Amino acid sequence: MRHAAMPRRPDTEPATLADLARENINVWAWCESCCHHGVIETALLIARLGPASPVPDLARHLRCSACGSKDLHARPDWPSLGVVARH
């Protein structure tokens, strides 16, 4: 049996553009068709799509500047997974 309405847990929700802006992180996008990839400024995406947009959803609004494909992936452009302490 499946649970139709799972409660949403805050710690499992995808980051939004507002989260990235707060952390000063841009968005990294990848084209499935031609492997073109690049970083898009979070501020530009907020201006277009609004600060509440979840990062994985951005890909649906993007188009590859190299081949025109809309088959893109987007994720936060984390500076590094090896950051030990920034405080």
Binding of Zn ion at residue 20 (CB under 5 A)?
A: no
Q: Minimal distance in Å, beta carbon 70 to Zn ion? A: 9
The smaller minimum CB distance to Zn ion, of residues 17 and 64, is found at: 64
Which residues touch 75 (CB under 8 Å, ≥6 apart)? Answer: 27, 28, 55, 56
Which tokens belong to 87? 């405080």
Binding of Zn ion at residue 31 (CB under 5 A)?
A: yes
Q: Minimal distance in Å, beta carbon 72 to Zn ion? A: 8
User: H-type helices in the chain, by residue range?
Assistant: 17-23, 42-49, 55-58
Residues at the site binding Zn ion, with contacts judged by CB under 5 A:
31, 33-34, 36, 64, 66-67, 69
